[in-house]
Chains A and B, each alone.
Chain A
């Protein structure tokens, strides 16, 4: 592709004490793409998300986003540039109603700058915008769900709330850390079109997933991590065909293939 990639990661490494959680991982994502990241438990997927978004300090390597070297920037500055992330272990403000959860991101300079949310100075206007975003992400507007306390929401809605927090910033790229896990089949079925819609709106997505079937419906390109190393990258079929991947998923190989 002639176009500059949106995100380039080169040789990103991180170890925790003796554990090498990431070792020299490279990746490139172009604007508008969906990149899938898979790997067995503890293979370093979350660490990769953390290291790119500034939540952990990487030891070596380089992260370039929109042509700027953002290696080891503070998380809020990276988010301010348009690179957002969801948390695998969801972090809503449990005591607040769902829509009030979005007030914090809507209060950020990025959200105010983009102005698209019309979040002017008038009191209450952020509340309206928040409900709009929740509707976009699948909270039924006329139901009571957007007004329920986050602690009483089921996992499916909390995952959506994680995405909504990112969307409130009008991001260029969202790194989704396992938005499908913990969802029921029907919740998952409604999540896939949602992700497609985000892509259509021009948001680039990096999706860390265990659910291969849903991931492969969305992501044209997938990379596989194992013990912190990238062991394969390519289309779904290419990746699942490689020997290393079969070995990495050894024992669960049948399961992997049966998902597809």
Chain B
């Protein structure tokens, strides 16, 4: 086309079907139902089918479990960062707490995974939230820095005091037994987490969370204690992380210092950037892309980090909105060039 971008601009219009399906009552026609349900079904059924599709590649089935653990962290990170306004790099800490708690419950009290996983998940969430309480008044990068201290510190403390098995970690933790339990427990948790949190965000309380992020003074002036909502956000995120950690322990039958690794703090951020911040589903998508890449590059050692950095940079520069936001726009809106 001869015209330059200066003479025209891109006009975006909601598709008619999107306008109608936005109000739930309008859904009567199968086309509208399909339009609304199709993306959700693809996501849900796709995730559920993955272990079956990969049943001839046991190694990759395990990778799917790892993807899910990162996805839990990433969903928590996305929720906390984009809907509560706290950028938390504490992912490694949540995983470590969940992992050690499940391992200790199993080894010291002989409890089976059915019991240790729920306890480590919810009690671990409470434990992490209590430790984070003093940091909640911090904003932006200060909160991020302090939250990063938690996983670093926890590892060093365990090492220095030589508690919980010290550098050797806790060995001999019971496994899930049936690998399908492991796979579907994790996939189910990711789906539940995504849909519960997305639901929460469209309820009235979701507006309070958004207010805490965008306009905390107005929320305070509305007689609402923002610390409560920040703590609630941290609780959701850390519970998901602890769940991931508890599963990790039972998968590898071991809890150790590497579970406080910074990977658990950093990869969720990268996944959220790639997948599209704020959508929650996007961060799952991001993990589905990044974690397998990371597995494939395992042989190259630290070169992994370079590849990561490249992908991340490319996304930030070229598609900073992330895949989900981009995809949703394409799905919901027409775009056309109009002359100015």
Chain A residues in the interface with B (C-beta under 8 A): 53, 55, 74-77, 79-80, 84-85, 87, 91-96, 100, 103-111, 123, 126, 165-166, 168-169
Contact = CB atoms under 8 A, between A and B. Distances in A.
Contacts of A74: 220, 225
Given A100-B207, A104-B207, A93 B215 contact: yes
Nearest to B210: A93
B181 interface: no
A75 B220 contact: yes
Contact of A91 (B204, B205, B210, B218): B218
Mostly, the A contact residues are: helix
- Kindly state the interface size class of chain B when it binds its partner: 10 to 19
B223 interface: yes
Contacts, number: 79
Among B203, B223, B226, residue most surrounded by chain A Cβ atoms (within 10 Å): B223
A8 to B, nearest CB: 21
B11 interface: no
A75 B221 CA distance: 6
Which of A76, A100, A126, A168: most chain B CB closer than 10 A? A76
A79 B218 contact: no
What 5 pairs across the A-B complex have the smallest Cβ distances? A79-B223, A105-B222, A108-B223, A75-B220, A80-B223
Interface string B199-243: 000011101101100110111111111100000000000000000
B222 A91 contact: no
Contact of B223 (A55, A100, A105, A126): A105
Contacts of B222: 76, 79, 104-105, 107-108, 165, 168-169
Contact of B207 (A75, A107, A166): A107
Contact of B220 (A79, A95, A107): A79
Looking at A84, A94, A104, the one whose CB has the most chain B CB atoms below 10 A away is A104
Nearest to B228: A76
A104 B222 CA distance: 7
A76 B226 contact: yes
B225 A126 contact: no
Contact of A103 (B207, B220, B221, B226): B207
30 contacts: A55-B220, A55-B221, A74-B220, A76-B220, A76-B224, A77-B223, A79-B221, A84-B221, A87-B217, A87-B218, A87-B221, A91-B217, A91-B218, A91-B221, A93-B207, A93-B215, A95-B214, A103-B204, A103-B208, A104-B208, A104-B211, A105-B223, A106-B204, A107-B205, A107-B224, A108-B223, A109-B223, A165-B218, A165-B222, A169-B222
A120 to B, nearest CB: 12
A84 B214 CA distance: 20
Contacts of A107: 204-205, 207-208, 222, 224
B88 to A, nearest CB: 23
B204 A76 contact: no
A93 B214 contact: yes
Nearest to B202: A123
Contacts of A85: 221
Nearest to A81: B223
A55 B221 CA distance: 9
Contacts of B214: 93-95
A104 B220 contact: no
Contacts of A165: 218, 221-222
